[in-house]
């Protein structure tokens, strides 16, 4: 369990830059993720882990890659359906083991009509994870109800996930995020969320999240929907692993845009 977690959360910094490419399981061919392999391949060398479904893993990720996989194992609802909260587990634990993943992930929808089933899904997944030594990432999803992203709600959802045995939790950044961190006894990873207006906004999100106690970010659209996705992920790495300021990250981004293969100011964490 600790070995797999250390592949995702790098022991040298205690932080992680995860690349989220699991959007298609409920959003379909998302903008700039229409052809997953083309989006993923140039970003793989700069990701500490990639979060995806088994379908994308099998069709669009080179099996020779050493980048750890956090496998999305929940689903059952779509963006055009009545509710995004009506999820169940869609991938067997046996298949997760067969795919040699570093962790499995599923969403919980606290405070919705499907709260009970998604929390029960989490408990069942944690039981299997303990049996086989595979960490579980709980995602505190909010469906289409974005107004729920406040410290009181996210603090409740994160604490419940930790109490049910999640080994780390993915949640949203919010005002008073430090309170969410303080109330959650397992590591927190912050979601990038919808595409922000500017790269600077994404850098500020990553910087503030780390400053308030998150151990990393799991960004998708704010990286691969950028006009310069490789420059974007390398600049996010500067913040998460090297403690760069927002201004330094912006400078790194501008420099990285000029080169075909950006080089980090410090050696990549592996």
Active site residues: 170
Residues in the chain: 270
CA distances from 256 to 228, 236, 252, 264 (A): 9, 12, 6, 9
CA distances from 190 to 73, 179, 251 (A): 19, 14, 23
Task: State the alpha helices, DSSP H only, in 9-68.
Answer: 24-27, 36-40, 54-60
Buried b (16+ CB within 10 A) or exposed e, 188-212: bbbbbbebbeebeebbbbbbebbeb
**Cα–Cα distance for residue pair 179/112, rounded to 1 Å:** 23
Q: Kindly report the CA angle at 232 between 222 and 189, in degrees rounded to 5?
A: 55
**Cα–Cα distance for residue pair 55/8, rounded to 1 Å:** 21
């Amino acid at each position: 369990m600790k070995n797999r977690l250390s592949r995702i959360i790098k022991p040298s910094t205690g932080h992680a830059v995860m690349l989220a490419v699991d959007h298609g399981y409920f959003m379909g061919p998302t903008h700039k993720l229409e052809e997953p392999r083309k989006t993923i391949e140039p970003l793989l060398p700069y990701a500490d882990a990639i979060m995806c479904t088994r379908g994308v893993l099998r069709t669009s990720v080179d099996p020779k890659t050493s980048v750890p996989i956090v496998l999305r194992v929940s689903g059952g609802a779509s963006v055009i359906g009545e509710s995004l909260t009506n999820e169940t587990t869609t991938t067997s634990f046996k298949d997760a083991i067969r795919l040699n993943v570093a962790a499995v992930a599923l969403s919980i929808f606290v405070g919705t009509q499907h709260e009970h089933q998604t929390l029960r899904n989490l408990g069942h997944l944690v039981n299997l994870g303990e049996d086989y030594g595979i960490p579980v990432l709980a995602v505190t999803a909010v469906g289409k109800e974005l107004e729920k992203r406040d410290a009181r709600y996210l603090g409740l959802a994160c604490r419940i996930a930790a109490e049910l045995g999640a080994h780390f939790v993915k949640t949203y950044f919010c005002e008073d995020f430090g309170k969410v961190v303080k109330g959650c006894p397992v590591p927190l990873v912050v979601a990038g969320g919808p595409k922000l207006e500017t790269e600077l906004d994404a850098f500020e999100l990553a910087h503030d999240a780390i400053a308030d106690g998150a151990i990393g970010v799991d960004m998708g659209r704010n990286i691969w929907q950028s006009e310069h996705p490789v420059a974007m992920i390398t600049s996010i790495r500067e913040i998460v692993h090297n403690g760069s300021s927002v201004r330094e990250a912006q400078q790194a981004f501008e420099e990285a845009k000029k080169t075909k293969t950006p080089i980090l100011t410090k050696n990549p964490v592996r």
